[in-house]
Structure 1
Amino acid sequence: MPSWAAEKFPCHLAMWDLGHCDPKKCSGRKLARLGYVRSLKLQQRFNGLILSPMGTKCVSPADREIVEQHGVAVVDCSWARLEDTPFSRIRGGNPRLLPFLVATNPVNYGKPCTLSCVEAYAAALYITGYKELGEILLKKFKWGHNFFELNQEILDKYTGCKDSAEVVATQQEYLNQTSKRRDEEDSYDMTDIDLDIDHFNPNHRVGELPPSES
């Protein structure tokens, strides 16, 4: 039975579980056990946002009304088996891509665009103006707080966009800036006596991600 908190959760969450993942590590299954997520069968229609590689638009603040009325669904499959995933049998009118974000789950910590189910839900909720609902879900995992902390800068930029096109443009601008910063870091001359060595750690590059939590 769903917990009291799950019964009061104001957003519909759903999931097509294709059984690719380890049940003990699957964040989507944990949320389902807690009563936050309902499982869908293939070809069962979902009218909310569907986070899927089949999307042609990115999630944006323009999707807020869809989330409010119909919720968010994910496809729980292995990133290593995307080619085997029957996305064509997943029915719904609002497929969406998530923009660039970095995973903080223990399996894919530090990897871009390889989010777990709970991270995907939380990201979609944040971008559409429901950050507090995303926080509720992330708090069910001991590592969950890291996701918003690590991605806050870019998530805040996405929430300031008008639509999918602006999200894509913001994503590209952010990636260009990040690439430029990394190029500048790589170009530092460690033999330059004018380098502010007190604030430079050669063993930890600026922007480098910390090690994964257990």
Structure 2
Amino acid sequence: MSDSSSESEDEIVSYKIHMWDLNQCDPKRCTGRKLQRHNLMKTLRLGQKFGGIILSPMATKSVSPEDKEIIEQHGIAVVDCSWAKLEETPFHRMKGPNMRLLPYLVAANPVNYGKPCELSCVEAIAACFKIVGLDKAASYYLGKFKWGHSFLTLNDEIFDMYKDCKNSKDVVDAQKIYLLKIREEAEKSSSSSSSSDESDSESESETNPETQLTESTVKLDLNA
């Protein structure tokens, strides 16, 4: 497999995509289960090692374009668990030589739409494909869901930044630049709204609170 433009459907479905299923999620909403029904995902046992990219909060590096060959040869594994039960998830029993974090991305799935970093299994898999330049594979997997391609649309700008990187350090730097940009935009929007409210009514001392990005919003604290 040479580049994203040459990916055929046969090549895409041949990628080794696996998950550790902890049975914490609603089966009807579980994107991993749906991928299994399409024969696009296989299950790993707890304690079973995986040689491809493993998306885990225990990792210390971000997924980056330099991981493309690992994904092409050995695949991707995700952990299908509830975001509300992370502390009780036995991540130490799901290991391999290539553990990675995903950088900042916004979810498009119906459960966590618009939330930073709270991705579904298919979004996490597609994000890996997209970051390493396997665009057709990302689109193919997301295409199994009605809302799937909105994930690419929501994150179009930041995906372009990540794809231009070389390694984990570059991805972390790109993430910092992007977060600073959207924080500044939020502050400008808040300032503009406040000024407008004051001009409309001098007696109104408070404006409606606006959502602004803070450090606590970001789930990942990546160290390259």
For normalisation by structure 2, the TM-score amounts to 0.82
Verify the 8 A CA contact 2:64 2:165 in the aligned structure 1.
yes
Verify the 8 A CA contact 2:56 2:99 in the aligned structure 1.
yes
Verify the 8 A CA contact 1:108 1:115 in the aligned structure 2.
yes
- Which residue of structure 2 lines up, in the alignment, with residue 49 of structure 1? 53
Unaligned runs of 5+ in 1: 194-202, 208-214
- Which residue of structure 2 lines up, in the alignment, with residue 211 of structure 1? none
Measured in 1, the distance between the counterparts of 2:68 and 2:24 equals 30
How far the C-alpha of 1:91 sits from its partner, in A, is 2.3
Unaligned runs of 5+ in 2: 1-8, 200-207, 213-224
- Which residue of structure 2 lines up, in the alignment, with residue 175 of structure 1? 179
1:184 to 177, 185, 188: 188
Code of the aligned partner of 2:138: G
Verify the 8 A CA contact 1:7 1:35 in the aligned structure 2.
no
1:123-176 per-residue CA deviation (whole Å, 9 max, x = no partner) reads 000001111101001010001010000101001100000100010010011000
1:63-78 superposed matches below 5 A: 63-78=67-82
Count of residues in correspondence between the two structures: 195
- Which residue of structure 1 lines up, in the alignment, with residue 217 of structure 2? none
1:23 to 20, 27, 31: 27
Structure 2 counterpart SS, 1:112 = coil
1:96-175 superposed matches below 5 A: 96-175=100-179
2:98 to 94, 97, 104: 94
- Which residue of structure 1 lines up, in the alignment, with residue 5 of structure 2? none
- Which residue of structure 2 lines up, in the alignment, with residue 198 of structure 1? none
Q: CA RMSD in A?
A: 2.2
1:2-41 per-residue CA deviation (whole Å, 9 max, x = no partner) reads xxx6896131100000000000100001001110000010
2:65 to 54, 61, 65: 61
1:44-101 per-residue CA deviation (whole Å, 9 max, x = no partner) reads 1110000111110000001011001101010000000011111111121111000000
Verify the 8 A CA contact 2:12 2:137 in the aligned structure 1.
no
Q: Percent identity?
A: 54
Measured in 2, the distance between the counterparts of 1:7 and 1:123 equals 18
**4+ runs of 1 displaced by more than 2 Å?**
5-8
Code of the aligned partner of 1:43: G
Code of the aligned partner of 2:112: N
1:32 to 27, 31, 36: 36
For normalisation by structure 1, the TM-score amounts to 0.86
Verify the 8 A CA contact 1:45 1:90 in the aligned structure 2.
yes
How far the C-alpha of 1:190 sits from its partner, in A, is 1.3
Structure 2 counterpart SS, 1:100 = coil
